[in-house]
Amino acid sequence: MQGITPFLWFDGQAEEAANFYVSIFKNSRIETVVRYGEAGPGPKGSVMIVGFQLEGQRFTALNGGPQFRFTPAISFLVNCDTQDEVDALWDRLSEGGQKQSCGWVMDKFGVSWQVVPVLLGKLMSGADLEKSNRIMKAMLQMDKIDMKRLEEAYRDQ
């Protein structure tokens, strides 16, 4: 049983966002849709909560109103094994949103994602500080992370 579930507050787009995310990630699905009843506070019959899974991780989306907005201070890290995965997720998550630097994307709902190859952590975690610095310098010059450029920076002398 998953003990911690990210809870996302939307202003009327909870179901649209959940469907968008489920369409992007494999092994994902909508689990529940709860609608407001007569007690409100939303209009009766409108979507209140959507429960969904992305790659086995449970999420809850709430249509809570305009009181709160997303901030990049909270983001979701997506570890990718291949450049094709990085490219596909980067492109899909940025549709209608903003491409940012160092692998970050803000989607059309304002949620921040880090689309990062597993390779980045592997290359930076070695004991060779010079190599780690070259990797960091290369990454800081990228928007979408390019695994080939990381490997080249790692090998450069």
Q: Is residue 52 located within the same domain as residue 77?
A: no
The pLDDT of residue 87 is 97
> What phi, psi does 119 have (nearest 5°)?
-55, -35
pLDDT tens figures, 21-66: 999 999 999 999 999 999 988 899 999 999 999 999 999 999 999 9
Q: Is residue 6 located within the same domain as residue 28?
A: yes
The pLDDT of residue 118 is 95
Would the pLDDT of 126 be above 80? no
| Better-predicted residue by pLDDT, 147 or 157 | 147
Q: Is residue 79 located within the same domain as residue 156?
A: yes
SS3 132: helix
Look up the domain containing 98 and give its range: 70-157
Q: Is residue 130 located within the same domain as residue 149?
A: yes
Q: Is residue 87 located within the same domain as residue 120?
A: yes
Q: What is the number of domains present in the chain?
A: 2
Mean pLDDT of the chain: 94
